[in-house]
Amino acid sequence: MTPKKTYKIILVEDDAELANMIQTFLTSEGFDVIWVDNGLLAVDHILSDKPDLVVLDIMLPGLDGVEVCRQIRQDFNNPVLMLTAKDDDFSEVSSLNTGADGYLNKPVRPHILLAHINALLRRNQSTSVNNNVDKIHIQNLTINLKAYTLHIDDQEINLTSGEFELLSVLVKSNGIPVSRDDLYQQLRGIEYDGIDRSIDLRVSSLRKKMDDDIPPYRFIKTVRSKGYLLVV
């Protein structure tokens, strides 16, 4: 029997009491958790250790979490889950626009945190295991679901795991609009609550990286009352 993989998580949190609670809980759930309490140190740890997932607080000494996420994203594509005590749209937008895959408000409820972590790991693992398709050419895009890469003409576009998974879902829909509800279920692994805007923000981030963020869109269209589609 193949042993279950132990996932490595880097927890970046300067509140020692909260960090100890999260580390103890996640360790009891079978994760290998490394705790870092400083944003500057976090960048080095994440890029050298290459964890399966990062839990990243926004308010940190050294560098804040948004800047940490921005700095690691060129070389780190695994999921990043942001934590914040701030309940405002600016924090959420900043986090997702710099490459975060999820966003969770404090106070942290351990089992809710675990559900988000498992959903992100499932999505990331599914993408890695099932990407066995040859290169797909759409307009001047070259999408390799096996190699996890996107090229526009001859230029490679650096995407986060969340952005590429969104693109993969749209590719596999073969020109049929995918509703926000379906995208939320496939990308987050949980039901859409009717309020969360993370999917819309991820679409906006992907469009921006594809230099397609000004209507009329060339690649990712918004179909009223239907959802999003990739123009094939």
Residue 79 confidence (pLDDT) above 60? yes
- What percent of the chain has pLDDT above 90? 48
Boundaries of every domain in the chain? 8-127, 131-230
Distance, C-alpha 24 to centroid of its chain: 24
Crossing angle (nearest 10°) for helices 110-130 and 180-188: 90
The fold of 131-230 is Arc Repressor Mutant, subunit A (1.10.10)
pTM for the full predicted model:
0.59
**E strand segments, the chain:** 8-12, 32-36, 53-57, 80-84, 102-105, 136-138, 141-144, 149-152, 155-157, 220-223, 227-230
Residue-wise pLDDT for 167-212, tens only, equals 988 988 878 888 888 888 788 766 777 777 888 899 999 999 999 9
**What's the pLDDT at 187?**
82
Average confidence score pLDDT of the chain: 85
Question: Is 131-230 the same fold as 8-127?
Answer: no
**What's the pLDDT at 167?**
93
Confidence band of 84 (pLDDT split at 50, 70, 90): confident
CATH homologous superfamily of domain 8-127? Response regulator (3.40.50.2300)
